[in-house]
Structure 1
Amino acid sequence: MLRHKVRDFKMHLAVSLDDLVPADHFYRRLDAALDLSFVRELVKSRYASTMGRPSIDPVVFFKLHLIMFFEGIRSERQLMATVHLNLAHRWYIGYDLDEPVPDHSSLSKIRDRYGVEVFQQFFEAIVERCIQAGLVWGQELYFDGTKGQANAALTAMVPRWYREAQEHLTALFPPEETAKSLSVFQKLMDKYDGSRLNQRRSSTYQRTTDQKVSLVDPDATPMKRFTGDKAVLGYHTHYIVDGGRARIILAALVTPASVMDNTPMLDLVRWVRFRWQLMPQVAVGDTRYGTIPNLVGLEQDGLRAYLPLPDLTERSTYYSSDRFTYLSEKDVYLCPQGAELTLRVQRKREQDLCYRAKAQVCQLCPVKAACTPSKGGRSIFRSVFQPYIERVKAYATTPAYQKAMRKRQVWVEPLFGEVKQWHQGRRFRLRGLEKANMEGLLKATGQNIKRLLKARRGFKRTSPAGGVILQMPPFFAIFLG
C-alpha cells in the first residue's frame, strides 16, 4: 500500500547528542587526540576577572576555526549555519541540541580582542606538541612562499595622499590606549609590512604601492602569480618546513605581495632556531633565496646554504667572468689571453672590488670584440663576500646538495597545494596584514594538526564531515593516499 510520510515531530524527544555521534567519528578522534584547554591560559589576560558577561569559551572559539579549516568553509556566517545543523559539530564544541550556537559576529569580536599574538601562540603550542611527538627532525630547513589574492579589488586603489590625509585626521583624536610591548612575531610582521627596506635604491624607481593604496585593504599590494596573469591585490605567505618525514611547518609569516621570498629569510630562520632550540645543519631554498645577504648570513650562522645562485652569464654575449682566473696570492685576475686585471677601486655601496685590465693591452687583444666593448679595458667585479659565494657554489657538486634539491621539489609546494585545494587558501578572507597573519597561522596550524593526528593514529580514511548534512569531502585522500 502506498504510504505518504508526514512531517510530525515530537516536542520532547528523549535522545542524547552523545548517542547520535558515532564512536569512531572524526571529531571524536580529534577531541580525544588534541586537548585544547591550554588556550584558556593564552587568552586569560584578554578578559576581566570579575566584570562583564561570561564569554564564549576560548576552546570553543578555536574548535570552531578547526571545523572551518577541516570542512573547507570560507565564511563565518556559513560556519555557524553548518554547526547549527551538524550533530558532530555540536558535539565537538559541546553545544546540546536545544542550545543556541554563538552568533557569527561574536567570532569577529573575539578575534579582534585576541590579536595576532594569541594566534601565533596557538601555532607555537601545536608545534611544541609535534616536537614532543618526535615529528620534528631539526637537521634541515626548507623554505618556500606562495601568493594569495586579497579580499579587495585592484581597481579600488586611490592615491596614497588621500589615505594619508585620512590617517592624519584620525591621529588628531587618538583613542586612549595603554602601551604594550610587541612580541617577536609582531615585530617581524611590522618589519615586513611592505615598506622599502633597501633605501639605497634609485629615488626615480617608483612602485605602484608608493603612489596608490586600497582603502578596503591598505596592506595588500599588486601581484601577478604567473607571467601573463592579470594583476590583483594580494599577500605573500612564507613557510619554513622541517626536513623530517612529517613536514611540520616551523614558521609561517604573511607579508604584502611586494615582499619577495628571500627578504624575511634570515629573520625567520633565526627565529626558528631560537624559538625551538634547533641546530639545523642545512637551509634549502630555490633560486629566489640565493641572494648574497642570505647565503652569507646562513654560512656565518653555521648552516650550509643549499641555495642555487642565479646564472648571470647569459645576460651578456661577451665573455663571462667564469672565463677569468683569480690568483689569490697576487690579488689579480688572468683573462683567457693571459693578461692581468689588477685591483682599481673598491665600491662600498655595491660591496665589491673592481679589477680592470690596461686599456692599451685590451685594444691590441685579438679577441677584444668577444670580450668587451669598453675602450678603457675589460673590468671584473668581485664581491667582498666571494669566499662565501665560492663555498656555496662548491656545494652544488655534492650528492647531499643534489638530494636536497630533489627533496625540495616535493616538500613545501605540496603543502601550499593542499591548503589552496582543500582549505580555501587561494584567497584571503580577512583584510589587513594582522588579520591576514591570523588566517595564515590558523591554516598552518591546521596542517600541523593533520600530521599530528596521523602520528597519533587519529586519522582514518573517513571524513570529518560525516554528519547529517554534509557529504564526505575527498580532501583527506590527498593527505592519506
Structure 2
Amino acid sequence: MQGRKEYTEKPITYFQLSSHIPTDNFYRRLKERLDLTFLYEHTKELYGSTGNPSIDPVVFFRFMLIGYLENITSDRKLIEHCSMRMDMLYFLGYNIDEPLPWHSTLSRTRQLYPEALFELLFDKVFRLCVAHNMVAGRRLAIDSAPVKANASMETLLEKQPQRPGLKLLPQVEDQNGPVDSIPKLSPRQAASVITAADHQLRRLKKHQQNLKSAPITLGASNEKAQLLSNKTHYSPTDPDARISIKPGKARKLNYNCSLAVDTAEGIISHVQANFADGRDSQSLPDIMRKLQQRLVHNELRLEEILADTGYSNGGNYALLEGWKITGWIPVFGKYKPQIDGFPYDPVADQFTCSAGKPLSFKNFDSQADGGLLKIYRAAYQDCQQCPLKPTCIPNSKCRQITRTAYDPFYRRALERQQSRRGKRMKRLRQQTVEPVLGSLVEYNGLRKINVRGKAGAHKVMLMAAVAFNLKKYMKFTTKSTVSQAIALKVEWSLAPGNTFLSFTMLYFN
C-alpha cells in the first residue's frame, strides 16, 4: 500500500535544537572550539548606557563568519540562508522559532565597529592555529591580487583645477547599506571638492587630443578607458577605489589584497587592503612591520620571505638583510649587474672606461619613488682628450654612469635567484600563496568588495582570511582527533607488549 504523508501545521510544544545537530557537525564543533566572549569587553565603549539593546557582538561576528564560510556576501541573503539551517541557528544561539535580526542591522554594526576589532578576531584565530602547531613562522610567502571595488568606471568624474579654499574630499566611511540609503554627491558637488594639479590636467588634455587624432588600429582598446587616470579622475561613489588593470582583463576600480601565507600548513599570517594604484614593492615594508609584530607576539621567528618580482626593490633587500631575513625575491628584469665596456672595482668604488680612465663616485641622487642613486663621472680633461669621445659621448662633456645605491643588495639577491634553492623557493611560493588567493576569491567572498572605503575593504579581507584559517583549523583538528583515536585503538587491542606500544608512538610522529 502506498503511503502518503499529510502535513498539518501545529505549534511546537517541545523542541531541543541541540539534540537535532550531529556531534560532528561543522558549526557545532566550531561553536565549541571558538570562544568569542572577549568581544564584549572590546565593544563596550562603542555603546551608550541607555536606549534599545543592540545586536550581540558575538552574534554579529558569528553571522560574519557564516557569510564568508558559505561565500555569501549579501546581508539579506545571509539572514535568509541562516533561517533555513538548524546548525547555523544553533551556532548563532537562536531557537528555531526566534526571529533573526534585520539585515540592515548587520550593515550598521559593521560600520560601527573599527578595523582593530576585526584584527583582534584575526589574531584570535591565528593564535589557535599556532597553538596546534599549524604555523611554523620561519618561512612565509607574500603576494597580492586586485579585488573589484563597489564602484563603476561609468561614474568617474574629472578632477577640477586646484583653487584657494577648496579641500580634498575625505576618505569615505565603510558603507554596506542599500544603495538607496547611501547619500551621494551630485556631480557638481563632487567636482567642486576633488582637485588635481594644473599641470596634470593640462597633460591629460594634450594626451586626449593626441589619442583622438591618432588613427584607430585593429584591436585597440576602448577610447574612454585610455583617457582615464587616477591622477585626473576619481569615483564619487568610492573615492578610495583606484583604477587598475590586470593582464588580459579590462580596467576596473579595485583594491589590492596583500597576503602573507605560512608555508607549513598554508595559514594566512597577515592580510591588508592597499590602494590599487600602488606598487607591491611600496607596501612590503608596512607588511613586514605588522607581520613581525604578530609573529613576535606568538613567539615565532621569521627567517625567509618568498615573493615575486613585483616586490623587487633595493630598499626592500636592504630592509630584509637588516632584519636578518633572507629574501627570495627575483630581481627586476631591468637590473643589469654589469655594464658592457665599464668594469667595476668594488674596493675603489669606481668604473673604468675602455680607454682606461676611471669614473669615480661623485654624489648621490634620488628617484621619483624615493630610491637612492649613485653618480659616477669621469674627469672633464680625460673625456675631452679621449679619441673615443665622438662615439662614446658625442653630445656630452664627460661620461657619467648612474647606478642604484643598493647595488650590493641586488647582486646578492640575483645570486640567490639563480641558485638551485632559489628555483625551489619560486616553485614553493607559487604552490603556497597563489592557491590561497584563488580560494579567497572563489570560496570565501572576496570576488568583490561589497562595502565602500579602504577601511571597509580591510574588514572584508580580514573576515575572508579568518574564514579560510578556520576551515584549515577545523580540518586539521579533526584529522588529529581521528589519528589519536586510531592509535589508542591499536594500543588497546594489540598491546600487552612494549613492541606494539613503540609502534603507537611511531604512528604519532
Deviation at residue 392 of structure 1 after TM alignment:
2.1
* Aligned pairs for 1:126-205 within 5 A: 126-161=125-160
The answer to whether the 8 Å contact 2:261/2:267 transfers is yes
1:102 matched residue in structure 2: 101
Contact kept in structure 1, 2:137 and 2:295, CA below 8 Å: no
Q: How does 1:366-381 map to 2 (within 5 A)?
A: 379-381=400-402
The equivalent of 1:408 in structure 2 is 429
Letter matched to residue 392 of structure 1: A
Name which of 231, 234, 237 aligns with 1:213. 234
Match of 1:384 in 2: 405
Q: 1:385 to 1:162 in 2, by over 3 A?
A: closer
Contact 2:161 2:201 in 1 (8 A): no
Identity across aligned pairs (percent)? 27
Which of 326, 329, 333 aligns to 2:347? It is 329
Task: Kindly indicate whether the alpha-carbon contact (under 8 Å) linking 2:82 and 2:89 is maintained by their aligned counterparts in 1.
Answer: yes
1:20 alignment partner in structure 2: 20
Return 339-348 or 52-61, whichever deviates more. 339-348
State the alpha-carbon separation in 2 of the partners of residues 29 and 97 from structure 1. 19
The TM-score with structure 1 as length reference comes to 0.78
Change (3 A) 1:41 1:353: same
| 8 A contact 1:362–1:377 mirrored in 2 | no
**2:350/2:361 contact within 8 Å kept:** no
Deviations 1:363-404 (A, max 9, x none): 549xx97x7776656543232222222222232244443322
Determine whether 1:274 maps to 2:293: yes
User: Mind listing any 5+ residue stretches in structure 1 that lack a counterpart?
Assistant: 172-194, 462-481
CA distance in structure 1 between the aligned counterparts of 2:138 and 2:481, rounded to whole angstroms: 30
Deviates more, 1:88-97 or 1:388-397: 388-397
SS of equivalent residue, structure 1 residue 209 = coil
AA at the equivalent of 1:265: L
CA shift, 1:41, in A, is: 2.5
Query: One-letter code of the match for 1:438?
Result: K
Q: Is the 8 A contact 2:238 2:453 kept in 1?
A: yes
Rounded Cα–Cα distance in structure 2 between residues aligned with 1:169 and 1:289 = 30
Letter in 2 for 1:30: L
Number of matched residues?
A: 423
Instruction: Please state whether the residue corresponding to 1:409 is helix, strand or coil.
Output: helix
Aligned equivalents of 2:165, 2:471: Cα separation in 1: 44
Alpha-carbon offset, residue 356 of structure 1: 4.5
Rounded Cα–Cα distance in structure 1 between residues aligned with 2:457 and 2:341: 48
- Spell out, residue by residue over 1:434-472, the C-alpha distance to the aligned partner (whole angstroms, 9 max, x if none): 1111101100111111222222117999xxxxxxxxxxx
Alignment of 1:33-432 (within 5 A): 33-48=33-48, 50-161=49-160, 208-227=229-248, 229-243=249-263, 245-277=264-296, 278-312=300-334, 321=339, 324-335=342-353, 337=354, 339-343=356-360, 345-350=362-367, 351-356=372-377, 358-359=382-383, 363-364=387-388, 379-432=400-453
Summarize deviations over 1:400-440 as a string: whole Å, max 9, x none. 43322221111111111001111232211111111111101
Q: Cα distance, 1:265 vs. partner?
A: 0.6
Aligned pair in 2 of structure 1 residues 293, 169: CA closer, same or farther (>3 Å)? closer
Give TM-score, length-normalised by structure 2. Answer: 0.74
2:360 aligned partner, one-letter code: L
In the alignment, which residue of structure 2 is the partner of 1:473?
Answer: none
Q: Is the 8 A contact 2:68 2:464 kept in 1?
A: yes
**Equivalent pair of 2:68/2:444 in contact (CA under 8 Å):** yes
Paired with 1:57 and 1:71, the residues of 2 have a C-alpha distance of 21
Structure exhibiting the larger radius of gyration computed from Cα positions: 2
Cα-Cα RMSD? 3.5
| CA distance in 1 between partners of 2:376 and 2:103 (Å) | 66
